[in-house]
Amino acid sequence: MENKESLKIRNLIKYFHEPETFQVLKGVSFEVKKGEFLSIVGKSGSGKSTLLYVLSTMDTDYEGTLQINGDLLTGKTQNQLAAFRNEHIGFVFQFHYLLPEFSCLQNVMLPALKLGKYSTKEIEHKAYESLRLLDIEDQALKSANKLSGGQQQRVAIARALINNPSIIMSDEPTGNLDSKNTQAVLDIFKGLAKENGQTIICVTHDTDFANKTDRTIEMADGLII
């Protein structure tokens, strides 16, 4: 179980065509084990964020192959990938990106409602559990845009967790958080990897943060160093 492969990429190559053709990823290959807490670091322009969006299945304009949980995702349609993301991948973005018109609770519930596996009551119960795990249960019914940055980031993590995804991906999760909140996010991720066996992949340029993860991949000029 411990050594089961969660994500595997082979020879990923990607070009940007605007403003001029430029090779961002020059053949990247690696595997991530289930329950591993992986961080990807590198300077701006090294291709680390680009790599994450390819891993996330949102970016499909690449060469090479991407497998998650043994499923080959390269070549699937946008709608199939959306359904796959919904069930298997949780996201945490740099700028927390909640839907401002919805309450925190609704924000957390939406992906599960979309999945439609459980009744609304069960989903609400799970959402409360998620929020409790992140110690933000008391803000559940507040509108998302009334929360502080750290609080919003925690709600975003709660949302990423709602469907029990096998992988959680995060782009600069601590990018605009203070050290206290950074530590909190780190602890949460560590707990998820260890206790739930969820794979976590973070892109960050915070080396302190990266040093506390299980494994760090460093990138430069589209290649793993």
Partner 1 sequence: MAKSVNIQIASVHLTSKFWQTFVAIMGVTFGVSMYIFMNSFMNGVNKTQDDLAFSALSHIRIYNQDNNHSYNPIESEYDNSRTVFNIHNRKSIQYTSGIKNSSGIVSLVEKQEEVVAVARQINFSVFFRSGSKKINGRVSGIELEPEDKLFKSSETVTQGNWNNLQTHKSGIIIGKLLAKDLGLQVNSSINVLTSDGVSKNYIIVGIFESSIKEIDKTKAYLNITAARQLLGENSDYASDILINIKDRDYTAPVVKKLGLLIPLQIESWQEANEQLVAGASLRNVIAIAVSFTILLVAGFGIYNIMNMTINEKIKEIAILKATGFSGKDIKSIFLSQAGAIGLLGGFLGVVLGYLISLLINQVPFNVASLETLPIYFRVQDFVLAVVFGLLTTLIAGYLPSKKAARVDPVTIIRG
Residue from 6, 39, 46, 56 binding partner 1 (CB under 8 A): 56
Stretch 137-176 residues interacting with partner 1 (CB under 8 A): 159, 163, 171
Compare residues 149 and 212 and give the one whose CB is closer to partner 1: 149
Compare residues 123 and 224 and give the one whose CB is closer to partner 1: 123
Inter-axis angle of helices 120-133 and 149-161, to 10 degrees? 130
Could you give the angle at the alpha carbon of 209 between the alpha carbons of 208 and 213, nearest 5°? 115
> How many angstroms separate the Cα of 39 from the Cα of each of 67, 132, 190?
18, 26, 12
Residue from 86, 164, 176, 196 binding partner 1 (CB under 8 A): 86
CB 86, CB 111: distance < 8 Å: yes
Residue from 5, 87, 129, 214 binding partner 1 (CB under 8 A): 87
Q: Which residues contact 151 (CB under 8 A, 6 or more apart)?
A: 136, 139
Binding to partner 1 by CB under 8 A, coded x per residue (else -) over 103-122, reads: ---x---xx-xxxx------
Contact between 102 and partner 1 per CB under 8 A: yes
**Alpha carbon distance 130, 118 (integer Å):** 15
What ranges in the chain are assigned the alpha helix state H?
A: 48-55, 78-88, 104-115, 120-133, 149-161, 179-191, 207-211
Contact between 82 and partner 1 per CB under 8 A: yes
Residue from 31, 63, 71, 101 binding partner 1 (CB under 8 A): 101
Residues at the interface with partner 1 (CB under 8 A): 49, 53, 56, 58-59, 78-79, 82-87, 91, 93, 97-102, 106, 110-111, 113-116, 159, 163, 171
